[in-house]
Amino acid sequence: MSTVDPEGSAAPNAAELEVFRHLFTALAEEMGSALRRAASSPNIKERRDYSSAVFSPVGDPVAQGDHLPVHLGAMPMSVQATLRALPHLQQGDVAILNDPFEGGTHLPDITMIAPVHVEVIEGEGNAPGAAAGELLPGALLLGYVAVRAHHADVGGMTPGSMPIAREIFQEGLRIPPVLLLRRGARVAEVWRLLLANVRTPEEREGDLDAQLGSIRVGVRRLRDIARRKGAGPTLAAQRALLDYADCLLRRGIERIPDGEWSAQDNLEGDGFVDEPIRIRARLEVRGDRVRIDFTGSAPQTTGGVNAVAAVTASAARYVVRVVVEDLLGDSLPAGGGAMGAMELLLPERSVVNASPPAPVAGGNVETSQRITDVLLKAFAGALPDRMPALSQGTMNNVAIGGTDSRTGRAFAYYETVGGGMGAGPSGPGLSGVHTHMSNTLNTPVEALEHAYPFRVLRYAVRRGSGGRGVYRGGDGLERDIQILVPAQVTLLTERRRTGPSGQGGGEPGAPGANALLRAGHEEERRAESLPSKATFEVQRGDIVSIRTPGGGGWGPPRD
């Protein structure tokens, strides 16, 4: 490396820093690839509902894979919670947690975190403060690797663990930060406890093993980087990347006009109360700092559309980052920095900052999308010619579970369904994709019918559902699933009454719709309209029909 700073740590030059940037990002991507290849469930293997990241010795995000924004923005809070609860993680330890009030998102998202140590080579540069991480004689703490994956069932009152619940205890098993591996050995009592509380223990065991494999890949690769480049330079590069990302963030915010803008939107009830639930944000930009105040948002609700602080912070982090990257014409380092230029004000016990024992399953998947919409609308006040129309604004959650008559075993299916992307100033929106806080894929029909007692009768683009404009919004999807055994179904969706709005005179996208067709003679079948959030029983041959929203159009429509 080129120079040594006054404190004795190597300071990489621009070229060297770019090399480290790509090394750390590739590490996170490889962790995700390892998880996907080894996973058991279609939700992880096919839909890629997971995220991985690298953190500094003090828990700051250094690099992330190109995975789910709602996972990645919240994961630093999980790491910090783990370091508070388990401050002396040793080489070979792996912590596990899913508690939404400890940096988690919702209970199905299980996170594993492991420290990475390397032997210190005599005479090698060391980073300031690194001695605090020397947990073993002759070993230096390089940082942490973490992987989060959505498990298709973690217990609770309904299969899929996404119920219309009144308290978090009904949503599944809640795991505080605990050790799953101690010095490389499995903690058998914790492992048994996890598998005893889920409907599909074999599938969960396979997915948990895959996560552990992903962690091992991350540990090995970070050690490889330090051994090739030096431990001191590796730690110095982590700090330099964080500083660089924060510097870019401030430079981008400076390009936003100073001022204040407000926006508001609503959720369509919580499954118990059929009334709009307000989310309000006031955006204040001054120089190189941005302040987002959610005062005026609704109190936390009875049903599970509550977002914990980690989810709201994740959505805010995502929106500020994409706005800055658009203004700069360049991307921030994959970790995004510490976001020290962004200040959040979250009212206590509100729908954007829920407290126990509030249910939160839908806060991660649905409320995060609405928070994103509100923030995009607020930024559109400051940058009207740059902001896109709103995308579908929902993840269209479908969970189905029962006993598979082909195998005699329980099954639990979970999926989010794509929809329309909002159009932007540079072109139309994409059709049938996951947007914003979700970044997963749609499960292929072949994988779905192989893994579950389902028959997919229709899977198509919902033509004409995108909003009109100079550029048209993307179209939603149509998916009809015939269930071949008696089962229980939960739907957790949004934008079923009002479609996502356009921007700059563009028209809104079409709202989505849910329906149930009961089995019987073909001429006697009649579609039964379903609410946006519901749990219900189905019999053999019943068909669950999902129509997802289109995206909003951009600019006044032309004849």
pLDDT tens, position by position, 6-58: 344 567 899 999 999 999 999 999 999 999 999 999 999 999 999 999 999 99
Express as a percent the part of the chain with pLDDT over 90. Answer: 87
Report, as an integer, the average pLDDT of 220-230: 96
Judged by average pLDDT, the poorest of 194-203, 370-379, 516-525 is 516-525
Which backbone phi and psi does 136 adopt, to 5 degrees?
A: -130, 150
pLDDT of residue 504: 95
pLDDT of residue 340: 86
33 three-state secondary structure = helix
How far apart are alpha carbons 214 and 146 in whole angstroms? 9
Please give the DSSP secondary-structure letter assigned to residue 3: E
Report, as an integer, the average pLDDT of 538-559: 95
pLDDT of residue 223: 97
pLDDT tens-digit series, residues 120-148: 754 444 433 333 333 344 589 999 999 99
User: What pTM, to 2 d.p., does this model score?
Assistant: 0.93
Residue pair 381/332 in contact (Cβ under 8 Å)? The answer is: no
Count Cβ atoms within 10 A of the Cβ of residue 100 and give its class: 0-12 exposed, 13-18 middle, 19 or more buried.
Answer: buried
Which backbone phi and psi does 54 adopt, to 5 degrees?
A: -120, 135
How far apart are alpha carbons 396 and 419 in whole angstroms? 9
291 CB neighbour count, 10 Å cutoff: 15
Token duo for residue 394: 């929902």
Residue pair 114/93 in contact (Cβ under 8 Å)? The answer is: yes
pLDDT tens-digit series, residues 417-428: 999 999 999 999
β-partners of residue 308 are none
How far apart are alpha carbons 269 and 288 in whole angstroms? 37
pLDDT of residue 5: 38
Token duo for residue 381: 């006040």
pLDDT of residue 4: 35
Count Cβ atoms within 10 A of the Cβ of residue 249 and give its class: 0-12 exposed, 13-18 middle, 19 or more buried.
Answer: buried
DSSP-derived secondary structure for 210-262 = HHHHHHHHHHHHHHHHHHHH-HHHHHHHHHHHHHHHHHHHHHHHTTSPSEEEE
For the chain, the distance separating the N- and C-terminal CA atoms, rounded to the nearest angstrom, is 61
pLDDT of residue 554: 98
Is the per-residue pLDDT at 70 higher than 90?
no
pLDDT of residue 132: 32
pLDDT of residue 526: 74
pLDDT of residue 439: 84
Judged by average pLDDT, the poorest of 1-10, 232-241, 252-261, 356-365 is 1-10
Is the per-residue pLDDT at 522 higher than 70?
no
pLDDT of residue 434: 95
Of all helices (H) and strands (E), which one includes residue 168?
Answer: none
Report, as an integer, the average pLDDT of 163-170: 97
pLDDT tens-digit series, residues 355-391: 999 999 999 999 999 999 999 999 999 999 999 999 9
Express as a percent the part of the chain with pLDDT over 70. Answer: 94
Judged by average pLDDT, the poorest of 152-156, 225-229, 335-339 is 335-339
pLDDT band at 69 (very low <50, low <70, confident <90, very high): confident
Indicate the domain borders of the chain: 3-248, 388-559
pLDDT of residue 525: 63
pLDDT of residue 524: 59
Report, as an integer, the average pLDDT of 296-315: 96
Provide the mean pLDDT of the chain.
Answer: 92
**Which residue spans within 79-138 are E strands per DSSP?**
94-97, 109-119
Report, as an integer, the average pLDDT of 64-81: 86
pLDDT of residue 521: 52
Judged by average pLDDT, the poorest of 28-42, 458-472, 517-531 is 517-531
**Tokens 């005179």 appear where?**
505
